[in-house]
Structure 1
Amino acid sequence: MPYLRRKLGIIFQDFQLFFDRTVAENLFFVMRATGWGDKGKMKRRLSEVLMQVGLDSAAGKMPHQLSGGEQQRIVIARSLINEPLILVADEPTGNLDPDVSEGIFQLFQEINNSGTAVLMATHNHKLLNDHPGRVLKCEKGKVLDSVHDVFSFRSEF
């Protein structure tokens, strides 16, 4: 289980941040829980993941001081701490406005291009239509794969 935890990044729909701790303390918690011990390496990695999500100045802030989009990017930073092979995201843009959602999706594309597989559950068909890629769609008890099946999305979002 500890090995799997280090190779899998998880992004929860409802953030799951500790609201009594700063952003840095939230991320250090994950590092300690997955076996990090060297404080210098931990600080460097903290800085790297916060820069990756564009929030390098947020380390000392409390979660309530951040917008919903910023909190979501902190959750993404947390999921990247251990350079996962697979990133699983549950409705990562569900609570965000369209512009922030677009930015999060672009970040996922960058993460994917750097070698991490991104598996995302979403109802945001607009993002899927705007950014073609492999899609698995659950429909009427079957899983359709865009590699083999032709299907479309409702564009109600």
Structure 2
Amino acid sequence: MGGQPVTELERINCHHNYTEQEKHFGKNVWLSRKGAINAEAGRPGLIPGSMGTASYVVVGKGNALSLNSSPHGAGRAFSRSAARKRFSGDELREAMKGIEYRDTDAFIDEIPGAYKAIDQVMADAADLVEIRHTLRQIVNVKGD
């Protein structure tokens, strides 16, 4: 095949459950981020929505009051078991229209409606991160 080789422009490695030593308010502290990413000034990150909604490539603003942290994703509005009781396979298929995915009721607990609205999460995080790119799904690959 012809054409130009694809080159990597940037790699974002973004943990959201970890502990590390950092300096905040003039003190060395152990900071645990559970469901949060490091959003120090200039640091790139990824904030995903659900399997059927947008995800965002962001850069941290370094908000000291948040300990340079931001949300790592949409977060659940329904637990997995509550989502399985609340939503149906038909609702999952409707929510995933236009996105290639493995059509199985095994993923009902991952339906977009089981998560908080990512656009609201991003609006709430406006003081923490700047959006650089919006990503839209065309395919979703998930194991059982």
Q: Same fold (TM over 0.5)?
A: no
Give the structure-1-normalised TM-score. 0.26
Normalized per residue, the structure richer in helix is 1
Normalized per residue, the structure richer in strand is 2
Report which of the two structures shows the higher radius of gyration computed on alpha carbons: 2
